[in-house]
A and B are shown apart, each in its own frame.
Chain A
Amino acid sequence: MKDLVENILNLARLKKVDYADVRIVRRQKEEIAVKNGEMEALTWDEDFGFGIRVLFQGAWGFACSSKVDKKEREKTFHRAWKISREGSRIQPKKISFPHAPPVVARYQTPISVNPFRVSPETKLKLLLEADAVIRRNKKVKISEAFLGAYQTEKTFASTEGSFVEQGIVECGAGISATVIEGGEIQVQSYPNSFRGNFATQGYEWVEELKIGSHGERIAEEAVQLLSAKPCPSGITTLILDGSQLALQVHESIGHPIELDRILGTEASYAGTSFLKPKRVDDFQFGSEKVNIVADATFPGGLGTSGFDDEGVKAQRVPIISRGKLVNLLTSRETAFLLGKESNGTMRADGWNRLPLIRMTNINLEPGEWTLEQMITGTEEGLFLSTNRSWSIDDQRINFQFGTEVGWEIKAGKLGGMVKNPTYTGITPQFWNSCDAVANRDHWQMWGTPNCGKGEPGQVAHVGHGTAPARFRNVRVGVK
């Protein structure tokens, strides 16, 4: 790899570029989906290639290739350089890219069991058995089980002399039960919706999930939902479980704090942000109960790595402290505009994409309450669990979520189930209405493997550690 990258970087030095980096990435993926007792899909995928970023006279260029012979490397470099040269001729504002000391390092996800050494037969057996448990309930129309394993080996090198090698392993699994009756569809999932919960861990994580032990419960709960009361409409107190809160954090905190989005680079796709750089240290994003950190070092977090794709070391950064916005997610280029250093959040989806600012693990820090205390302290409200639907506007202000299930809370006690729960709100008002966050006993890490951003589109795997939390005066049962 060193010869390969040095060849490219030497070409860059000859052209007297401001900066260049190259990433060589090999990715392997294995996904197995089971539905109604049959294997629906088994995918084994591998891709390999390299991408070159060039900054020349203040403009970026990028090119990539899946062929790594010498001729192709030179051709690809020249393509990237030509794009940056053409860009420099029309770009009104030159990009400033601060120098950083070289980093030479290696990182490997610590794992016990390599998921790629577990046979597909073993994995399929696990899924079929879990699926069979769900289907014992004859009212279930669709039973599903899913398992995914992912491995990324990447080499990063730059004209500054950095050389970083990383091996990232991810794993996850999940099950769901769908019932359909009377023109209605109800779903219950475990451990999370949208295929499960994912982590930077080995196959030991899948075993820990024990998906086979939850099939009976989710099937029964899905059936119960058919006869549950519809979610009432009105303004009430809301307690969100950790899995739903993970997506709430993702959409209404994680995305608006991305500095490239704030500066407009996502404007033509997912939008911008209601936040501005001047709001750092000057904006009460949430109540004093709300503390958010961006932590790329958290063991097992889906957004955990050793370094980002600019060679910046993974770090833990406070974002919201006692409700006040104190930081944003930054890159080397964007942090420089604020007079700061990057906090290491640039990641690309493979070798054929430019790195973008991406969430790492955006965590709501645990509070001091137990879930039981939160419920007991709620005169009237709803407890909602497991996301089913999500939507937010292009500045991350107005959101609406739906969950798979809810329960009424009356006089401090958990009551009957409600179906099709939805709630809506305005981001800072919502987070300022948070008056309780559950403690570490209720805190866990959730992995979101499908975060979309950028043009051309990229998918990032990100993490969110959360504990249940309570919010007051929330509009529910949206009509």
Chain B
Amino acid sequence: MRKVKTIQEILSLVKEKGFSASGAFSHGEVELIVVNSLGVEAYQKFSDLFLHLIVQNGKGSGYARFIPRDLDQLQIEPWVKTAVTKAQGGSPVQVEPGEYEVILEPEAVRELMVFLGYLGFHALAVQEGRSFFCNEFGKKMVHEKVTIYDDGLDPQGLQVPFDFEGVPKQKVIFFEGGVAKNVTYDSLTAGKEGRESTGHGLIPPNTEGPIPINLFMQGGDSHLEEMIRSVRRGIYVTRFHYTNVVEPMKTVITGMTRDGTFWIEEGEIKNPVKNLRFTESVLKALSRVKAVSQGRKICSSGSVYGRRFINGTVAPAIQVDGFNFSGVSSL
């Protein structure tokens, strides 16, 4: 009952600080076996562990997530402090919608990356003519500080050696220095072009295409503190919520901020703000990147609509010079 004791410790620490806590702690063992009539026999067993925490006090809320497979790596007190610090600061003030400079934490950056993966980083979207990559390979589409790739074997992510067709994972670079490079393939999409699969087949029957599930954004050379210090007037975002597509080929998405959104003024985080709705093109936002943090974090939702499989995104924090907020959550 180590999980119960861990949760008990977390709840005690949160309660001591005068907050309420909610969250989920899940660990599991996954066996992936792929056998087919072409002679593929692939087997991998792996464990996973997902723990996340929201602290609230009726005024503010804060968020923390823990992904590494080894619970011994969790230092409970500093981890809880991350969420509590976000929730402190008093009642949030209202900021009017508009375009602002933003600092996006890794969880928020993950959201942008995942949508690019879904909308256009894969061969089916290109073959059907609906990817933003169509006719753009080799062209600079976003800022040169942006390099995004998929790598199921990178130990900094949640490693998966082969895909759901038993094909070994290959690293695929989508943006390199801002330039559009490649997309992921499964056996069906690869077959249509006479190519080899890149090992990105998803669970059959997959009608969505070989969407990448081990995304990475390369870290930069900035530190988060100096990024904040360089903002004259802007917004600090911990994470996004309920994000959805508005215009797929322009990569316009909309969603809300959540669990730690702050006003920055003259290089200092001043106070929490009421959650904001953004409506922005991901490609436009990534074209306006001013800085990318050195440090990166692994982010994962753990499961999608109840289906558990390894999907993880390793993302840095980024600073964007101009990000559109179209509304405020306020009664």
Contacts and interface: CB of A to CB of B under 8 A. Distances in A.
Interface of A: 33, 35, 40-43, 86-87, 90, 141-142, 178, 180, 183-185, 264-265, 267-271, 274, 349, 353, 389-395, 397-398, 400, 402, 420, 422, 424, 426, 428, 450, 452, 455-459, 478-479
Contacts of B255: 391
B279 A478 contact: yes
Contact of A185 (B24, B248, B306, B329): B248
Nearest to A269: B24
Given A426-B331, A478-B327, 19 more contacts: A43-B205, A90-B7, A141-B130, A180-B130, A180-B249, A274-B331, A389-B254, A391-B244, A391-B277, A393-B258, A393-B329, A394-B256, A398-B275, A398-B328, A400-B327, A452-B305, A455-B26, A456-B26, A457-B306
A393 B277 contact: yes
Contacts of A265: 22
B128 A86 contact: no
Given A87-B4, A349-B306, A478-B326, A268 B129 contact: no
Nearest to A270: B242
Interface string B291-308: 000000000000111111
A267 B326 contact: no
A90 B6 CA distance: 12
Question: Counting chain B CB atoms within 10 Å of each CB, which of A184, A264, A268 scores highest?
Answer: A268
Interface stretch (B31-39, B49-57, B314-322): B49-57
A121 to B, nearest CB: 18
B275 A393 contact: yes
Interface string B113-130: 000000000000000111
B128 A180 contact: yes
Contacts of B52: 268
B290 interface: no
B91 interface: no
Contacts of A394: 241-242, 256, 258, 275
A45 B249 CA distance: 34
Interface in B248-291: 248-250, 254-256, 258, 275, 277, 279
A156 B127 CA distance: 49
Interface of B: 1, 4, 7-8, 11, 20, 22-24, 26, 52-54, 56, 128-130, 204-205, 207, 241-250, 254-256, 258, 275, 277, 279, 303-308, 324, 326-331
Contacts of A86: 1, 4
Nearest to A450: B305
Contacts of A271: 241, 258
Contacts of A390: 244
Contacts of B258: 271, 393-394
B277 A424 contact: yes
Nearest to B4: A86
B22 A268 contact: yes
A398 B327 contact: yes
Nearest to B326: A478
Given A391-B242, A400-B279, A41 B305 contact: no
10 contacts: A40-B205, A41-B204, A90-B7, A180-B128, A183-B249, A398-B275, A424-B326, A455-B24, A478-B279, A478-B327
Nearest to B277: A398
A393 B256 contact: yes
Q: For B52, B243, B248, B329, which residue has the most chain A Cβ atoms within 10 angstroms?
A: B329
Contacts of B279: 400, 422, 478-479
A393 B242 contact: yes
A41 B4 CA distance: 42
B254 A391 contact: yes
Point out which of B24, B255, B327 has the most chain A C-beta atoms below 10 A from its C-beta. B327
Contact of A457 (B277, B305, B328): B305
Given A267-B56, A268-B54, A400 B254 contact: yes
Nearest to A352: B306
B24 A422 contact: no
B54 A479 contact: no
Contact of A33 (B56, B205, B307): B205
A42 B331 contact: no
Contacts of B248: 185
B327 A424 contact: yes
A312 B331 CA distance: 35
Contact of B306 (A42, A90, A270, A456): A456
Given A402-B246, A479-B279, A397 B254 contact: no
B207 A33 contact: yes
B246 A41 contact: no
A392 B242 contact: yes
Contacts of B26: 455-456
B254 A90 contact: no
Nearest to A32: B205
A394 B244 CA distance: 14
Contacts of A424: 277, 326-327
Contacts of A90: 4, 7-8, 11
A406 to B, nearest CB: 14
A90 B11 CA distance: 10
Contact of A393 (B54, B241, B307): B241
B54 A267 contact: yes
A389 B303 CA distance: 22
A143 to B, nearest CB: 12
A265 B326 CA distance: 29
Nearest to A41: B205
| Nearest 4 interchain pairs by C-beta | A41-B205, A457-B306, A267-B22, A268-B22
A83 B317 CA distance: 39
A236 B23 CA distance: 41
Nearest to A43: B205
B256 to A, nearest CB: 4
Nearest to A268: B22
Most buried by A among B22, B53, B56: B22
Nearest to A85: B1
B13 to A, nearest CB: 14
A333 B6 CA distance: 27
Contact of B20 (A35, A43, A264, A402): A264
Contacts of B242: 270, 391-394
A422 B326 CA distance: 12
Contacts of A426: 330-331
A29 to B, nearest CB: 12
Contacts of A428: 331
A36 B305 CA distance: 27
